[in-house]
Structure 1
Amino acid sequence: MEDFNSYFSSAFLGKKIMITGGSTGIGRATAILLSSLGAKCLICGRHSEQVDETLAAIEAKNRYDAIGTVVDLSAKDDVADFFRVADEQLGGLDILINNAALGYGSILEGNYEDWQYILNTNLLAYMACSKEAISRFEGKGKGQIINIGSMSADVREQNSSVYVATKSAIQGFSESLRKEVNALGVKVSLIEPGAVDTDMQEAPQEEKLEQIENQEMLRAEDIAWAVAFCIAQPPACDVVDLKIRPHLQII
């Protein structure tokens, strides 16, 4: 293999990548980074203002453009719409990054409809998007799915039982799915971050910046680099499970 710098700089060129939840937080940072490295990214979000702002940020920072669409992946028709845009405007698919997720607290809060929406977004959308992606990978002998999970799958914090349930499910789903699609040449990677400065963290921004300074919280850009690391592996190498936590976050 050529030297690392040459390999890394070419690993993203022309790659067609779908990023769910690509208009905020980790998804936004990932779209900006991968576009700067030469990938063609399609992002989605629930709010047009956030999608447009992210596309503008990509255009301002990079010489490569990106595509965006407004969908709510809790609905099966919107999942279909997202992949229809990919087929029509992305022109193929190399990598799916399942990232869209919503925070939620305890099962003692809310009602059935509230929990159903969270499960549809945090779990069922991962499954549905993975199925759609795999159908496009089949016959190519390659493809990659990167699932963004959470440390909550292992830590299982109190007063977070609904969110913990979804992220624990993503952990199991990723492990089993990898065994199912490995023979097709499809890679499956699971990234489980610790605390990250995203909209899901409800603390004031000043407090989050202090936590970042104290190495108790990561930036969204840190997880974007973890995604890039998974993508840049040689063909025979799979990053199966990557846990990335702030140095001084007590877990």
Structure 2
Amino acid sequence: MEDFNSYFSSAFLGKKIIITGGTTGIGRAAAILLSSLGAQCLICGRNQQQIDETLDAIAAKNVRGGTGIAVDISSSEGIKSLFSQADDQLGGLDILINNAALGFGSITDGEYEDWQYILNTNLLAYMACSREAINRFRPLGMGQIINIGSMSAEVREDGNAVYVATKTGIQGFSAALRKEVNPLGIKVSLIEPGAVDTDMQAGSSEDKIQQINKQEMLPAADIAWAIAFCIAQPPASDVVSLQIRPHLQLI
């Protein structure tokens, strides 16, 4: 690559991207950034108002690159609706960003149905969305899946067993999936952030700003740039795994 700036500026033009959980936190930041770089993004979330707010933020960048659907991807019906919308609105697919996730604490909290909903959202949806994407990538001989995991898969913090189980599952799923689909021309990248300013982090907005200023938490936009970095790699170059944490989150 002789001119990185030229390559980077063209790497996103016209790319058709699905972002699950694209209405808050990392997903929202990624939708805004990638749209501003020239991609066509379809976001999904469970709250129509948050979808509208995110699409308004994209439009405020004076770009046309955003559409959205209110859907719950914890069910197969929701996932089918998402990809049907992608076929209609995008007319194809280049990149899937599996990002939607919910926080949860100890196995001593909640009941079976609560854990099942978390597993369906945080892990099974990643698997099912990946399958739908692969079905669309296979005839093209190319495509990319970016899974947003968590440093919790490495740290395995106390009192967070249910969430840790899902993120550890994503880590293993990503590694095995890459070996399956790389020969088909499909890339798989796993991004594992540390503490990020999202709805899953406890504390007020003011508390989170203080943590960001103290380098103990990252703004969601930092992870959006990491996603862009994975996408912008040359065709024969894969970012397989990328761990990102705040400088002073000593984990």
Opposite residue 25 of structure 2, the aligned amino acid is: G
TM-score by length of 2: 0.99
TM-score by length of 1: 0.99
Q: Name 1:189's counterpart in structure 2.
A: 189
Paired residues in the alignment total 251
Structure 2, unmatched stretches of 5+, are none
1:50-72 Cα distance to aligned partner (Å, 9 max, x none): 00100011011132231100000
Q: Name 2:166's counterpart in structure 1.
A: 166
The Cα shift of 1:139 comes to 1.9
Asked whether the 8 Å contact 2:95–2:143 carries over to 1, the reply is: yes
Structure 1, unmatched stretches of 5+, are none
Distance 2:22 2:246 in 1: 22
The Cα shift of 1:202 comes to 1.6
Distance 2:24 2:119 in 1: 19
Asked whether the 8 Å contact 1:35–1:62 carries over to 2, the reply is: no
1:147 matched to 2:177? The reply is no
The Cα shift of 1:205 comes to 1.3
Distance 1:156 1:98 in 2: 21
Distance 1:141 1:133 in 2: 12
1:105-138 Cα distance to aligned partner (Å, 9 max, x none): 0000000000000000000000000000000001
The Cα shift of 1:204 comes to 1.4
Q: Name 1:92's counterpart in structure 2.
A: 92
Q: Name 2:64's counterpart in structure 1.
A: 64
Asked whether the 8 Å contact 2:79–2:128 carries over to 1, the reply is: yes
Extract structure 1 runs of 4+ deviating beyond 6 A.
none
Q: Name 1:120's counterpart in structure 2.
A: 120
Distance 1:10 1:137 in 2: 21
1:221 matched to 2:218? The reply is no
Distance 2:63 2:176 in 1: 38
Q: Root-mean-square deviation (CA), in Å?
A: 0.6
SS in 2 for 1:138: helix
Distance 1:91 1:249 in 2: 42
- Describe how 1:176-215 pairs up with structure 2 within 5 A: 176-215=176-215
1:233 matched to 2:233? The reply is yes
Asked whether the 8 Å contact 1:145–1:187 carries over to 2, the reply is: yes
The Cα shift of 1:164 comes to 0.1
Distance 1:188 1:21 in 2: 19
